[in-house]
A and B are shown apart, each in its own frame.
Chain A
Amino acid sequence: MAKKEYAFYPGCSSQLKASASNYLVSTNSMCTALDIKLTEIPDWNCCGASIGYCEGGELPRIAINARNFAQAETHLPGQDIVATCAACWLGARESKERLDASAVLMKETNEALAAAGLHYKGEVEVRHMVEVLIEDFGYDGLKAPMKKSLEGLKIAGYVGCQTNRPFGIDGESFENPMYLDKMVETLGGEALSKYEQKVTCCGGALAFSEPEKSQKQIRDIVESAYDHGAEMIVTPCPLCQANVEVYQSEINKKQGTKFNMPVVYYSQLMTVAYGGSAKDAALDGQLIRAEKLEKIAGK
């Protein structure tokens, strides 16, 4: 039996051939090394994300999240729901807290769920993978399966918004959370803890609708990483990863910069430190190759 079991909520971007498939592959490798058993919530659906606000009202958004809760409660009783995506975690946890706080909302939500023959009792816990790693395993526990050190790698920990606000990781501050830096140090890397764009917004969904405004944010995030001597950026959020990595070429084209900064997930760093190959860590899923990490993986 696995050491820990969770009801896994991967989210739309963490599916095969979706924009964060590298997050999914590396999460699976990392969990194997930590002896974590992830079981997908049967037939899970999208959380609505923040940007769903305009067309999807409050109750429809809460109801679709409650559909996932009902599925988890019924099929994976007693297991905490664990999301890897920041938006999934936020959407689900926000829904859970509103349902916990309001009997009216709970009643209306169950009225909606009944249309599909489902019912939510109100028993789930919603957590982010980073919470699981830090709270259930601890930094020492994360060190245990290590086979390689990320020694010499200079890494800027870009926490971003939604894994940090409004819920965040217990005991961390909103303005200067330290957990990503501590994870990097645990793995033997050099955390650039003075990196000042750590909690800057990448623009989120506005990367699509208002590219100039979003790319201004991304430019600051990447530029500061260079200023601090970073060799790569690490992040826990799939939208941060995609926005900050993918649009560097656009910024180069429009603004004459020469950005080529790899942006990886913590799960990719951990997979490599745990002895996984570049393929296990899905390093072939980067648009900007993380060559220094590939080199350690190949050793």
Chain B
Amino acid sequence: MTTTNTNAIERYRNNFLKEVEANVEEGHMVKMCMQCGVCAGSCPLGPAWQHSPQKIFMMIRAGKRDEVLGSDSMFMCTSCYNCMVRCPRQLPITHIMHGLANYAHRLGLAPKGQPTREFATLFWNNLAKKGRVNELMLTLQHYFRGGLVSGIREAMAMQSIGLGMFKAKRINPMEIFGGHGVKDLKGFHAIIAKAKEIEDRKKGFTA
């Protein structure tokens, strides 16, 4: 268990709602949920969720900390914002889901090996490296996430699409040597580092 997680349990004891309000993006809106279920019925990935947003919100109030932070539900979010625009209480549901996923991920409680958790991490690290997304590397790193053998198999299965993208001038094999990026990379990295430092300090994350 991470030190941050132990500290959080210690600090908030039996009040998980309070913990969410303090540490999760837009978490202060969770208590506004009136359990109508429109979000659950609006989600394109509804059938794939372990818990719908409606359930997640009630579980937070019921103090089901381990179940919420260990749920795969937040990672089913496609960021379509359907739930958010339909919510009669105007909860920013999409943002809360992202915030919960981020919190669970940072505490080390999110489900291990969850494919969208892994891809989302890969995506951020990819863009943070050079300031712009390197689409070729993102694709390759994703295919080869499980090692060389499965990587080759996945990449081969997609090779006709890759070739099509290449012919259409929509992917550049040379990106393997660097690709697009910002010029002031030092400044870009300094901004991210500083922002992370401020946020981590406020939310009690330890390195």
Which residues of A are interface residues toward B (Cβ below 8 A)? 12-13, 15-22, 43-46, 48-60, 62-64, 67, 108-109, 111-118, 161-162, 165-166, 174, 200-201, 203-206, 208-210, 213-214, 217, 246-247, 249-250, 284-287
Contacts and interface: CB of A to CB of B under 8 A. Distances in A.
B116 A206 contact: yes
Given A45-B131, A285-B168, A166 B121 contact: no
A54 B105 contact: yes
Contact of A19 (B45, B128, B165, B192): B165
A112 B198 contact: yes
Interface in B84-101: 84-86, 94, 98-99, 101
B198 A111 contact: yes
B133 A116 contact: no
A42 to B, nearest CB: 9
Nearest to B183: A43
Residue from A56, A113, A203, A208 having most chain B Cβ neighbours under 10 A: A56
B2 interface: no
10 contacts: A15-B132, A22-B168, A22-B170, A49-B133, A57-B203, A58-B99, A165-B84, A204-B80, A208-B119, A287-B161
Contacts of A115: 187, 190-191, 193-194
Given A21-B169, A48-B124, A118-B187, A250 B79 contact: no
Nearest to B190: A115
Residue from A53, A63, A114, A213 having most chain B Cβ neighbours under 10 A: A53
| CB-based closest 6 A-B pairs | A116-B187, A50-B79, A54-B120, A53-B98, A55-B124, A165-B81
Given A46-B127, A46-B133, A204-B78, 20 more contacts: A15-B180, A51-B79, A54-B75, A57-B25, A57-B102, A57-B106, A64-B191, A64-B192, A67-B187, A108-B195, A108-B199, A109-B195, A113-B191, A161-B79, A166-B94, A201-B78, A206-B45, A206-B78, A208-B142, A249-B164
A45 B182 contact: yes
Q: What is the interface of chain B mostly: helix, strand, loop, or mixed? A: helix
A250 B161 contact: yes
B19 interface: no
A51 B76 CA distance: 11
Nearest to A174: B85
Contacts of A109: 195
Nearest to B138: A208
B170 A18 contact: yes
B120 A166 contact: no
Given A54-B121, A204-B80, A284 B44 contact: no
A138 to B, nearest CB: 26
A263 to B, nearest CB: 12
A149 to B, nearest CB: 27
Interface in B32-88: 44-45, 48, 75-76, 78-82, 84-86
Contact of B25 (A49, A58, A112): A58
A205 B170 contact: no
A73 to B, nearest CB: 15
B80 A209 contact: no
B180 A18 contact: yes
Contacts of A210: 48, 76, 115-116
A45 B187 CA distance: 11
Residue from A16, A20, A44, A210 having most chain B Cβ neighbours under 10 A: A210
Contacts of B160: 249
A51 B190 CA distance: 22
Contacts of A22: 168-170
Contacts of B144: none
Contact of A12 (B45, B94, B132, B142): B132
Interface in B112-164: 115-121, 123-125, 127-128, 131-133, 135, 139, 142, 160-161, 164
B194 A111 contact: yes
A25 to B, nearest CB: 9
Given A116-B184, A250-B161, A166 B81 contact: yes
Contacts of B168: 22, 284-287
B44 A217 contact: yes
